[in-house]
Amino acid sequence: MAPAVKNTDSAATNACLAPSASKKPLSMGTALPYETRTAMHLKGLVPSGVEDFAAQEARAYEQLRNKGTDLEKYIFLSWLRNTNLNLFYRMVLKHLKEIAPIIYTPTVGQACQEFSHIYPFLAPPAAVDGLYVPFNEVDSIDEIIANYKASIPEGCRPETTVITDGSRILGLGDLGMNGMGIPVGKLQLYVAAAGLDPNNCLPIVLDFGTDNPKYLEDPLYLGIRQKRPADNEFYAATEKVLNGLTRAFPGIFIQFEDFNTPHAFGLLDQWRDRILCFNDDIQGTGSVILAGFISAIKLAGIPAADQRILFVGAGSAGVGVAKQLVDYLVLEHKIPEEQAKAMFWFVDSRGIITADRGDTLADHKVYFARSDNNGVQCKDLDEAIEFVKPTAMIGLSTIYKAFNEKILRRVNEINTVARPIIFPLSNPKTKAECTFEEAMQFTDNRVLFASGTAFPEYTIPGTNDTRVPGQGNNMYVFPPIGLGAKLAKPTSITDSMIFAVSKALSNTLSADEIARGELYPRIERIRETSAQVAAAFVHQAVREGLAQDQYWVDLVNANPASSATSEIPDGTYSQAVLDEVTKNMWAPADSVHQVISTKLLENKGSVARDHLANERTYLAWIRTSLSLVTVGVAIRQLYRVTIDLGSDANAAAPEDYEEPLAGKALGVSFVIMGIIFVLVGLYRYFRSQYLMTSGKFPVSRNMVGACAAATMALLVGLLVSMFADN
């Protein structure tokens, strides 16, 4: 296995641009220097002013802030991503706390609902923003992928994909093809949070129909208008797509996203040991909530074994979270599995899930079905709280305000010793079980809080004490998992790797964050924490013997982090591995020349073709120069021959005749024009070479100038010495 590439200047090391911007030489806009505009034939196509990235950022940010609604901001940012990728990510990273809720939850939920109505503003005709795979075209998946390959520059190769069928988008239900906004948004977070290269990210929607009559009847709906297929047809079609992807892009990391609960579990069970894949709803949500719960247990005031955890909502995400919490209690606190499982209760639409409730339970609910209820059946959340007396309440119900004032006050009363743990995790904000402000007010400011969507900070009335809500956002874990998978190339993503990620994330809290009772690191530090979590992932992949990239295997073995084993991961990492992970994180360009060289290298073709075109242009200048010099010399020689013939006819010595002044002037003029042409040709050649190699090879402007000057002097000297006697 080849060693991993050290990406010390990531923006300049890619010869391709993102698919959405690859055909747009103007995407640098007003940042293009004058000489580059000339070289790229852009004179008059851009306003005269040349500005730096900071000025562009200021203008774009001002335009963003002037938008009236979050959806308008979403559309503006989508347009910016499609027209100036570098500027888009510079602005996202600089204002991540403000922009993340716009490009992803909660705004992405509304964008998905309106996707078919705002689509022209999201994807201009020249932009390819991902793959749309209709159910009736899955047999043509190789052709679809080939079309995608043809639409992007040579050298681009998808390494990470997020794929959905839109059947369960956030808490909004079946949105069909409109769910494409989720893969697009997720991949933007992969780039922003963990430094994956946007050129190598591929969003995919499986357009397998929709059972939502709203969209089937919408005249502007862009997906296929049919009901969803039966389960056997779904799995057969999905298999064709996944096989096509892995044929075209071996080793690609595939994230399953927002499939309905049975299909989410079914796909993960079917594929997790066959390809490099991951389900964010099951594994990602569980991992990030586990990390927050680890932090909460440390602050709650009672032993972990005394926790009584009530889940409100029993879908794939909730069960996935609970199973990871059970694993944590078993591994970390040495609690037997049956005892750990007995710490959990689930409430669904029919009340507490019990083995004797009288209904047929979905497969994923059976593990946590209670058999110790002594015939008691709690029909609603109020009854469940009185029966369970929870110390922790985790909401994944998508029921707005399910944790109302009465519920929150009662949970607070129950927990007189321990601080109550309240996690309203449903997305978007309109589906959240409660807000941070409500949780603080109705628990006497004692709550240990984490939400699935962003909420504003809360200042305790009458004080200057401002509290920051924890956001159990999956963006803390899925980006570093993707980065670690890209680097270590494990054969599969194991539960131990996910556990290591949770432990690593909980360990990233600073002393100040812990002192303030925060459960997650500040979002402004997410690039830093993602590198640490990815480093822990790489270590765990190597410990388990599943990493395939020999460079990282050797690096981890040479720099062990701890005595952790593959069975009991601790989320640790070595500084050497962390440093290398950080070097491999993509970042937008800081230098205009980095982006210019990227565009010139692309030039709608390969690097070799660009250099060949430059060589041919240079040879054309040289041919013209030599032609002019030849004409000049020929004119002088013609006059000399005329003089010689004349001297013979008149029997006089040639030196007695003088060459006419016009002949000298005409010949010298042509020679001088030839010299000028060769000088201009040389200058253009070396200037183009500089632009194409800037940021790619160790070449400087002074070096290019020195080479050009030396070559020009040599050629001029040769021409003068050759024709001086004429």
Enter the tokens of residue 435.
């807000």
Helix segments in 66-180, DSSP class H: 70-83, 85-94, 96-103, 107-113, 115-122, 141-151
200 in Cβ contact with 7 (< 8 Å): no
* SS3 (DSSP) at 176: helix
The DSSP annotation for 657-719 comes to S---HHHHHHHHHHHHHHHHHHHHHHHHHHHHHHHHHTTTSS--HHHHHHHHHHHHHHHHHHH
| Sheet of 160-164, strand order | 131-134, 201-207, 160-164, 253-256, 277-279
Cα–Cα nearest to 370, from 393, 403, 347: 347
The b-or-e profile of 109-142 (16+ CB within 10 A means b, else e) is bbbbbbbbebbeebbeeebbbbbbbbbeebeebe
Cα dihedral 553, 556, 559, 564 sign? negative
Helix segments in 249-315, DSSP class H: 261-271, 285-300
Instruction: Report how far residue 93's alpha carbon sits from residue 524's, in angstroms, rounded to the nearest whole number.
Output: 9
Instruction: Report how far residue 264's alpha carbon sits from residue 277's, in angstroms, rounded to the nearest whole number.
Output: 12
Enter the tokens of residue 369.
């079905």
* SS3 (DSSP) at 510: coil
Angle at the Cα of 723 from the Cα atoms of 722 and 726, rounded to 5 degrees = 140
Instruction: Report how far residue 439's alpha carbon sits from residue 470's, in angstroms, rounded to the nearest whole number.
Output: 12
Longest dimension (CA), the chain: 139
Enumerate residues 6+ apart whose C-beta is below 8 A from 53: 31, 86, 87, 90, 590, 592
Instruction: Report how far residue 724's alpha carbon sits from residue 668's, in angstroms, rounded to the nearest whole number.
Output: 10
Instruction: Report how far residue 90's alpha carbon sits from residue 80's, in angstroms, rounded to the nearest whole number.
Output: 11
434 in Cβ contact with 403 (< 8 Å): yes
Between the two ends of the chain, the Cα-to-Cα distance in Å is: 65
Instruction: Report how far residue 106's alpha carbon sits from residue 92's, in angstroms, rounded to the nearest whole number.
Output: 16
Q: How many CB atoms lie within 10 A of CB 246?
A: 17
Q: How many CB atoms lie within 10 A of CB 62?
A: 9
Instruction: Report how far residue 527's alpha carbon sits from residue 583's, in angstroms, rounded to the nearest whole number.
Output: 12
Enter the tokens of residue 31.
């940042």
Instruction: Report how far residue 595's alpha carbon sits from residue 590's, in angstroms, rounded to the nearest whole number.
Output: 9
Enter the tokens of residue 562.
């701890």
- Active site members: 104, 186
